[in-house]
């Protein structure tokens, strides 16, 4: 499930629910999308770590800026994801 986090300069940031790897590590997938003619520019990454999973349409500078934004907001995204999953059994 994708959850809305923010929209800045036509770039939308959404995030997944908390997921767990086979070895028990928790992570959240984050997605940046920006509408362009004929589709979207997008960037998919994970927190923690901010490893890029997939990207298309953003310049290297834009990717750096977006990952910096994600890094500065990661603690809030974690808190929102934890609160969102608190009622799920």
Kindly state the DSSP code that residue 39 receives in the 8-state scheme.
Answer: E
Residue boundaries of the structural domains of the chain: 2-85
User: pTM (2 decimals)?
Assistant: 0.87
Q: In this predicted structure, what is the pLDDT of residue 85?
A: 58
Q: Is the pLDDT of residue 2 over 60?
A: yes
Question: Alpha carbon 26 to chain centroid distance?
Answer: 14
Could you report the per-residue pLDDT of 38-85, keeping only the tens digit for each?
A: 999 999 999 999 999 999 999 999 999 999 999 999 999 999 999 875
Q: What six digits make up the tokens of 15?
A: 């995030």
CA distance 40 to 32: 10
**Token pair 């300069």 is at which residue?**
9
């Amino acid at each position: 499930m994708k959850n809305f986090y923010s929209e800045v300069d036509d770039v939308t940031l959404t995030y997944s629910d908390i997921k767990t790897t086979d070895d028990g590590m928790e992570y959240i997938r984050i997605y940046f999308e920006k509408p362009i003619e004929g589709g979207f520019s997008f960037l998919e990454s994970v927190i923690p770590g901010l490893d890029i999973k997939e990207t298309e349409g953003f310049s290297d500078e834009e990717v750096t800026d977006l990952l910096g934004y994600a890094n500065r907001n990661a603690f809030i995204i974690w808190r929102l994801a934890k609160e969102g999953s608190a009622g799920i059994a």
